[in-house]
Amino acid sequence: MFYRESGDFKTSYAADQQTFPIRFDRWAIGLVCAFAFLVMPFLINDYWEKSVLLPFLVWAMAALGLNILTGYCGQVSLGTGGFMAVGAYASYKLTTSFPELNLFIVILLSGGVTATVGILFGLPSLRIKGFYLAVATLAAQFFLVWLFNKVPWFYNYSASGMITAPERTMLGIAISGPNSPPWATYLFCLVIVVFFAVIAKNLTRGRIGRSWMAIRDMDIAAEIIGVAPLKAKLSAFAISSFYIGVSGAMFFMVYLGAAEPTEAFGIDKSFLVLFMIIIGGLGSIFGSFVGAAFMTLMPVLFKNIMVGGLGWPTDLVSHIIFMLIGGLIMFFLIVEPHGLAQLWRVTKEKLRLWPFPH
Amino acid sequence: MMMQRQFGEAMLEVKNISLSFGGVKALTDISFDILEGEIRAIIGPNGAGKSSVLNVISGFYHPQEGEVWFRGKKRMGLKPHEVAKQGIARTFQNIALFKGMSTLDNLMTGRITHMKTNLFWQMLWKGPAEREEIEHREKVERIIDFLEIQSIRKTPVGRLPYGLQKRVELGRALAADSKLLLLDEPMAGMNLEEKEDMSRFILDVNDEFGTTIALIEHDMGVVMDLSDRVVVLDYGRKLADGTPDAVRSDQSVIDAYLGVSHD
């Protein structure tokens, strides 16, 4: 049978508060993971890696990060691009200074560096809220990109001002650099994203997640119930920036291979990630993935249909895609302002009881 | 004939506090105490300073003069979340629930000062974090039973009707397991039946959990029935203080409520 809650009885609080309380969900997510880990690496080719899977994973990671800050803790940020740049430059400096360092560790440390920078730029959030905070984080965006352009130490004094990812291997297989096989880069990113998605889920459903949501929903009441605003807001900034930093490091080291701050980490990236979480669903881990998929995969799909299927000229198609995506965003936001995750939630609620209305 | 209720020592003492915002004097030289185990009402006409008193107690406002003593210790400039840690919980005049969260999560948030597992275990979930979660879930479920809100356990509170929201807010304050509970107009905007329910809950909380309660309420019938002692404020000053009967027959209180000119 399909999606059903009836008959799925819980006899302990542990069973009631597990990640996927409904049996069907557990099966579905298990199958998806099994496919992603066991089957996909054998099917993947260069095209799927570079234009579908890697961008999806990288942006899903960034969306997870921003969703923790904006969706769960209610602090609007437009500094995502800047924080991704911090992650990218941190990984570049780390891996060129310590070539022996394992790439996993490089990427985790880059996340740590970004978390520190995030806390610094999160300090204004203790005083200002809403749109004003968004403007303050905008300052972070422009300042960081400017910094990486201006200070040659960050790009190791290279003549072009660009940073290039050197080849780094794990277990003898290249993960970064031009010679890395698609399945290896894909698996590398997949492991990181799945691991941190689980951690994000755990964080958001426990004490820390509740303190974030309390600050988001009603900060005065949160304080009166015992949530320290300083701790809640800064921890959200730190953890969110960690995620965004890791995504920036993956973006540069594994996906791009070479980057220049203004273009790779501009303000448009900040907006892109913000759109992802708005369309996917604020305050939802699943929504971060759906939003990232929507924004990265839709253009690819349309392009394949129009250029590949219908044979239209490429330049015309790229303009049509802009309009189509814009239209779709508006459509989905009118149908469900709380994002695709909410749409899915409502469908599930209906399915649970189907065919009965109540 | 009602039995004479016995109370312990003063749990909270407000000593000569004065609070002003710029040139506006909100409170002038207010002193009163709340005894352990009693239900204390704070009443007064609109703008008398009742909510300001509550905000001083819960740490939102810091009076320019005077002291607040809680359980035998003088309190110095604490922030609201530090006040919560000391064991003071409150509800708000306008409902201040976490609208995006379920009833259960709202109540679980109420237990936040009692939850201790660190970031690492929270990330891992399995182990201490899960055990702690279940332990507090059991406490919260007891409150859910007590308030008879089992059926809305998983409903986002934004979808609940007003009366239930008020009840959930009381539940969240109860979940904090506090020594002193401050209720800012717990019955505002309720119909008769809801008021009766809420009064029953307040009496039961006081009775079963032994929680000391201070409440602001406009419904005089409710105040006179529920409370052990009443403080009356007007224009930021204390008019009267005593048992409901004594306060009811006090000439200055009658004048304040009927609006006799002050000269």
User: What's chain B's average pLDDT?
Assistant: 89
Distance CA B206, CA A234 (A): 38
- The encoded tokens of residue B204 equal 């039961």
Distance CA A237, CA B152 (A): 33
Q: Is residue A123 part of a domain?
A: yes
Classify domain B9-87+178-263 at the CATH topology level.
Rossmann fold (3.40.50)
Do the Cβ atoms of A226 and B130 come within 8 Å?
no
Residue of A5, A205, A225 to mutate for B, most B C-beta atoms under 10 A:
A225
Over the stretch A277-322, which tens digit does the pLDDT of each residue have? 998 988 899 999 999 999 998 888 888 888 888 888 888 888 888 8
In which band, very low, low, confident or very high, does the pLDDT at A339 lie, cut at 50, 70 and 90? confident
Q: Is residue A25 part of a domain?
A: no
Distance CA B98, CA A221 (A): 8
Q: Which residue has the higher pLDDT, A229 or A14?
A: A229
pLDDT of residue B263: 55
Q: Is residue A347 part of a domain?
A: no
- The encoded tokens of residue A266 equal 């501009």
* Residue in chain A lying closest to B129 (CA): A206
Distance CA B35, CA B9 (A): 6
Range of the domain at A238: 47-266
* Candidate from A14, A203, A221 with C-beta closest to B130: A14
Its ipTM equals: 0.89
pLDDT of residue B3: 57
In which band, very low, low, confident or very high, does the pLDDT at A194 lie, cut at 50, 70 and 90? very high
Q: Is residue A36 part of a domain?
A: no
Number of domains in chain A: 1
Distance from CA of A231 to the nearest CA of B (A): 11
pLDDT of residue A12: 81
In which band, very low, low, confident or very high, does the pLDDT at B1 lie, cut at 50, 70 and 90? very low
Q: What are phi and psi of B75, to 5 degrees?
A: -100, 130
pLDDT of residue A5: 65
pLDDT of residue B145: 93
All residues of chain B having their beta carbon less than 8 Å from the beta carbon of residue A235 are 119
| Listed residue (B7, B95, B12) closest to B59, CA to CA | B12
What is the average per-residue pLDDT within A201-224? 92
pLDDT of residue A148: 93
pLDDT of residue A1: 46
